[in-house]
Chain A
Amino acid sequence: MDRQMTTLLRQGRGPQVVVSACLLAVGILSLLPAPQASAQVAVRRQLSETQFDSWVFQGNINGKTADKAIEQRLELQLDYLNAMSPLTDEQKAMMRLAGEGDIKRFMRKVRYGRKVLKTIDASDNQAVSQAYQLARPLAQQFEKGLFGETSLFHKAFLANLSEEQSSAVQSAIEEQERADARAINHMLLAMVRRDVPMTQEQYGKLTDLLDEAVPRCPSKSNYALYYVGYFFSRVPDKALEEIFEGEELAAVKKHANRYQGYKNMLVSQGLMKDDE
């Protein structure tokens, strides 16, 4: 048989041999129980749940350390409130319980995402992309913090604190927001000063103008700088003319005006209203 095949190959009839062998193989294999399925299972590549965790938690937190990290955030939040207005043990216990509820609710969604991810094929880009869509809102929620305005923690905070405590916390938060706004305002104007020669007196007047125009800002947003910039663009020309003149005035106005076009983006990000 071997000798015959060798002879046939030598005679240039190799392709015919291959075709015959193919047909033969198909014939034999059609009698065997479907081998394709097992072959496909063998090459299917799974994604691990740590992948989902890395989408959600980013940074140096993974699924194993996430619980501890979130619980730590809860404790930090309680410490923070306690520092602003001392809490009783009972209040702390209530708020801790509510915070733990928020953590459980969040982790339930994470576990669901992990489960979904394990069922999909890694080579199916569309499926991976859909799984990522599950992770994205969770990542945003984690980044913003689990104890925000819609959280049980916040509700417990509102329900359990006395009026005096609430107002102390509220005024501390407002003060922090003002400090945030000032930080971004001054950073933006210090950058303007890199371009426009100005005296300290001029800079001081300019920062006063912007601090008045932007008393608070969404400092946690990645659009915070544009938010401040937009309000800088709305500072009346007349006010700038009282501080600068000539080339300096023209340059400061140009700096301000470059932020004019960001309104739609800020509205779409929910950072300001259309009629604001």
Chain B
Amino acid sequence: MSCQRFRLAFLTSSFALLVFSQPAFAQAQAAAIQVEAAVQAEAAGAADEGAADGHGEEEADEKDEKVDGAAKKQAGDIGNEIGRDMARAIFGFGIRPAVVAPARVRPAVKVDPKDVDLTFLTPHINRELSLIHQVSDAKPEQMDKMIEAATKARDAMIDMVGPRNRAIPGKRIVMYGPNSIRLYANPFERIRKDAMTYAKEHLDIDQFEAYSKEAKAREDAEKEALAQTYAMLYQRHIPLTKEQRQALVDNIKKADLDADLVNVQVYVQNPRYLPQLPEEVTESVLTKTQREALSRASRVIFSSQMQTVMMNYQGKKWIAK
């Protein structure tokens, strides 16, 4: 009899345990789902970040691989603790610390040129042709030859699009065209470089000199604007004396930075983040304390969108399409 009672008590208490542990199981399951979601969000963040510095394609496929500690701390821990949705509600999307996992070089996937429409570059090329025309007073037959050369140069820019999965050395900016087309070089620089080549070929010496002088002045003005803006962004984080600021501007202008106006304006609108500068640019200018203070700032590499350049100019369409 006592054995039967024991069995009854055992069965009922087991059942009760099952009933009462149900919410705990559900909670544990929900927590597991949240953790998984956080890990996914974290991996997505790492992929976003990767995309921003040129390693995204490789990293996006490696979300289960280890991600950077800082990114994990900022995105993962928060996600683990309060859940992905809540973390996203509070922190928004898309911005992660710039720490780069080493890129895995995979077999390159060649892009079929027929699949890529490069006509989005045409308005930019037309503007360059307009500048050449404006400053060199080129004759119609000279323009015709340059239009032909410019069209060929545009089509050759397919090499900036493919092949995919190509590792980009170092921490480099990736620029995106329409439909998230990835360009592995700065298209503005390329268009100008090509223009310089065909202008030299088809203009006479004086005409070419007039154009190259203007092109150089524009490049210098852009460099100046970029350097001044970088210095301003650094001044937001650490107090710089007038002399330090000027020295920083001078060093930035001398350095071959992988930066562009399109890219730097994103930082102006996100004061919390700081673009990276090579040590050789800052080392001789900043004190040890300043460098230490800067090491705590969130340095990120934002990717750039070509569409950021507003296209209001409706000048002559030298290349029709």
Task: Verify that A and B bind, or say they do not.
Answer: yes
Asked if A47 contacts B81 (CB within 8 A), the reply is: yes
A24, closest chain B residue (CB): B12
Asked if A75 contacts B289 (CB within 8 A), the reply is: yes
Asked if B312 contacts A69 (CB within 8 A), the reply is: no
Docked CA distance A51–B81 (Å): 8
A28, closest chain B residue (CB): B12
CB contact under 8 A between A190 and B221, given known A128-B86, A197-B315, A225-B269: yes
A13 within 8 A of B: no
Stretch of A52-60, A108-116, A267-275 on the interface side: A52-60
Asked if B242 contacts A190 (CB within 8 A), the reply is: no
Asked if A84 contacts B241 (CB within 8 A), the reply is: yes
Return the contact of A25 from the options B15, B217, B312 (Cβ within 8 A). B15
Chain A residues with Cβ below 8 Å from B12 are 21, 24-25, 28
Chain A residues with Cβ below 8 Å from B153 are none
Asked if B265 contacts A191 (CB within 8 A), the reply is: yes
Chain B residues with Cβ below 8 Å from A128 are 82, 86
A219, closest chain B residue (CB): B232
Chain A residues with Cβ below 8 Å from B262 are 191, 194
CB contact under 8 A between A122 and B235, given known A186-B224, A190-B261: no
Asked if A190 contacts B222 (CB within 8 A), the reply is: yes
Asked if B229 contacts A43 (CB within 8 A), the reply is: no
Is chain B's binding surface mostly helix, strand, loop or mixed?
helix
B2 within 8 A of A: no
Docked CA distance A184–B238 (Å): 18
CB contact under 8 A between A76 and B290, given known A39-B24, A183-B229: yes
Asked if A2 contacts B15 (CB within 8 A), the reply is: no
A18, closest chain B residue (CB): B15
Chain A residues with Cβ below 8 Å from B15 are 21-22, 24-25
Asked if B228 contacts A183 (CB within 8 A), the reply is: yes
Q: Number of contacting residues on A, CB 8 A?
A: 80
B4, closest chain A residue (CB): A1
A209 within 8 A of B: no
B100 within 8 A of A: no
Q: Which residues of B contact A (CB under 8 A)?
A: 4, 7-9, 11-13, 15-16, 19-21, 23-24, 27-28, 30-31, 70, 73-74, 77-78, 81-83, 86, 89-90, 97, 127-128, 130-131, 134-135, 188, 214, 217-218, 221-222, 224-226, 228-229, 231-232, 235-236, 238-242, 245, 261-262, 264-265, 268-272, 287, 289-290, 292-293, 295-298, 308-315
Q: Enumerate 26 A-B pairs (CB-CB under 8 Å) in ascending A order.
A: A21-B11, A21-B12, A22-B15, A24-B15, A25-B15, A29-B20, A42-B24, A43-B23, A43-B27, A47-B82, A54-B77, A60-B97, A76-B238, A77-B239, A79-B289, A80-B241, A122-B82, A128-B82, A179-B231, A180-B232, A180-B235, A186-B225, A199-B134, A219-B236, A248-B313, A248-B315
